A and B are shown apart, each in its own frame.
Chain A
Amino acid sequence: MNNNETIMEVKNLVKYFPVAGETFGKSSLLKAVDDVSFTIKRGETLGLVGESGCGKTTVGRTIMRLYEPTSGKVIFKGKDIVSAKPNEMKSIRRQIQMIFQDPYASLNPRMTVSDIIGEPLDIHRLAKGNARKNRIHELLQMVGLNAEHATRYPHEFSGGQRQRIGIARALAVEPEFIICDEPISALDVSIQAQVINLLEELQENLGLTYLFIAHDLAMVKHISTQVAVMYLGKIVEIADSHELFANPQHPYTQALLSAIPTPDPKIAKEHKRIILEGDVPSPIDPPAGCRFHTRCRFAKDICAQQEPEFKGDSKHQVACHLI
């Protein structure tokens, strides 16, 4: 495995949604993702964190072209997905798969497990007859289920088992890149660890690359090589996972990390939280300059006027005027 190969490069990605305006019915733009860039190396995991509505899912869906990007490039294995033609898109869709947050909603209740996992095999004409059946059993085994489960329906499974079925379906087409959008948020802690361990084992055995979207920062730290923090459609800080948690530079990252409750009474008692005032502003008319300035305790005049640029080296980049 070539560890230095960049498999995914997202460049200045923008996704605006038109929304009906509140005044005079004039339509305006919701800036869900606004100039986002990152690269991911083969076999590694980029964790994408931030509060709900900051644009994480939109980044994932735009990469897969489930949403057409407003502008920007998504370069997968040297090829720009954004300008790919429909027939090229089909092969790319096979190489990039997605695992969703809600294992209940994302599986068709009227299909058996075998049909669910077999569907992508049929769409991409990967296996038929006995080979198809064997492949389905192999996939079930890979995710810790077994052949007996193939004839059952989703409602007969627990949340963790359903998430395994979703993972097996994603793996069916032998993807190289998987976007995991909050894959464990709906699961109990004891089951979360089962799914995380499975994702890690699969990554080691199959050389998979992950974009791992989550709001559980401890879990993101655990699974990621690199972590990007988003706020209101923008990445504000991106660094190697260990570095980001040991040495957060952006005031928003600092507040986010300090907000995590620690499962240790002694540490919890001494811990001083940075409490952010108010709520996240609307992405329809985001604050000018630094988008965080309305809640930042270090904001200066320049912060409301000028957007901060990224500074730092390849291991750690921060967009803040303080740096």
Chain B
Amino acid sequence: MSFFAPFCLPFMIGAAVMFVLLAWKWGSWLWRLPEADKRLVAKGIFTRATPEAVWETVRESLLHRRIFRIDPLLGYMHMSLAFGWFLLISVGWIETVAYLGLRYVPLQGHVFFKYFATGLPHKPAFDFVMDLLLLLVLSGVALAWFKRLRSRALGMRRTTRHVAGDRVALSALWFIFPARLAAESITCALYGGGSFLTGGLGAWLAAHVGVMPLMTAETVAWWFYSSCLGIFFVALPFSRYMHIFTEIPLIFLRRYRLRSGEKQSSYDHFQVEACSRCGICIDPCQLQSVLKIDTVQSVYFLRDRRYGMLRREVADNCLLCGRCAEKCPVGIDLNTLRVNSRDALRNVPDERRYDYFQGLDRSSGEGRVGYFAGCMTLLTPRTMQSMERIFEAAGERVWWADREGGVCCGRPLKLAGETDSARRMMRYNTELFRKHGITTLVTSCPICLRVFREDYALEGIEVLHHSEYILRLIREGRLPLGRTTERLAYHDPCELGRGSGIYEAPRAVIEAVGELVEPAHTREEALCCGSSLANTAIDDGQQVALARNVAEELDATGAGAIVTACPLCKKALGRGTATEVRDLSEVVAARIRPAAGRATK
């Protein structure tokens, strides 16, 4: 049996072009990986990481488990397309073997098997399974059409706008399966076979259309089907569908512990092109839902970056709140990519700019415990005073790093993309901490906390957020507190919650002094206060609008006061509501019972 007909050509050419392009892309990305990353791959490849990655590939790339969790219908759509198509291909392969035994069949022989197999005796079981799978995929295609028309039904308020490559690929993709249905049905009409779908349609056609027109239609239909495939394959590497083949190496590389950093690297390609532009990241973004800005969300940012058309306005206009990354089904490290894009757009190292740090030391006090207020806490003196009272009540000897002014932790500068200069601040502060020999570093600012934990090299110094530190004091019995029945609504700061994974400590502290209540969006879902330092693009009015929106939910709890654990959130929320906003340390300091021991001393 020869497995060639002229109509196969578009498919064969398309597939060849696609494989060459893919090999080139993967190859050059891997080749250009930094040495350290290559070593990680070499180290990880023969460990458990590899089978784990295989399993994750099945779960996410084929079954789309994470999308299912966001919305079952949307998950079904992605699953039916990806998994359905995968099954069509693999069952098709088995079918070929069942018919012909184990022998070499060229690629187009598998793909267009129905066309070539007309002379062979039918195997109804395979016909049935293949029809069922085709139906599965077609239902996904129908849902995709439906999604374009009414995305709200699939749990998404907005869907993504497309670039040219996407349009070509998408149109081809939408036609592939209807075309396959048509081609196979017509062949069934002429030669019999098929099951409930292609067979049924074929029988109907045979009854209503003459043989000559059917013969012509068959050639046209197979040509059309093959062309759709060919066009799709050629467009794929230039379109969002590149994610199909990029997500797989991404999963492996991630398991080998490769990460994006503050400088762009070759690994970023795998993350950027793994974005399917599903648009799931659009809805959680408050810039979209509250401010109606709809050009800056992660999906657009990644698209612009990928096609080299990223503008500063887009890169800068993001709160780095992490709400989108929390939902991204591919698990792309969106915030880090945004930061290293800003670095690439802006970073102009000026070696002299911070020469004034030389010899600077305004710290005071002495103790193994250091307290770093951070710039924002210096603007919220009540937090500062409360921390003083807490330290005093616990009898802690404290070294004050920056009570009389000091150098910023460096995170605001890093988030703005000036990463090299930020490193100078980090070096300065690290030396200061070392010089004073502290073993514990407490900060009341989650922004500082995060940079201390992620970017500083502070081996031997335990870094604690004040919520964790206060909780420890309470548990150790060093901080006697009186509990009241006051209802306190807690707002999760982005840098503390999603950023540092600290959700429990502040809640436990609040419960020690009052009754904790939570707003509608809380923990991983918490809203951003709107004044994030990461955003230098939105104006004052927009910040207030965001704050109002967040405060509304907090006020709806009917709590007597709003409590947060970040000086910046405190300032920001205060502008959005008449309710009093307090820092965690304030509510604690107000409930300190005079210690019995101290009183009788």
Q: Do A and B bind each other?
A: no
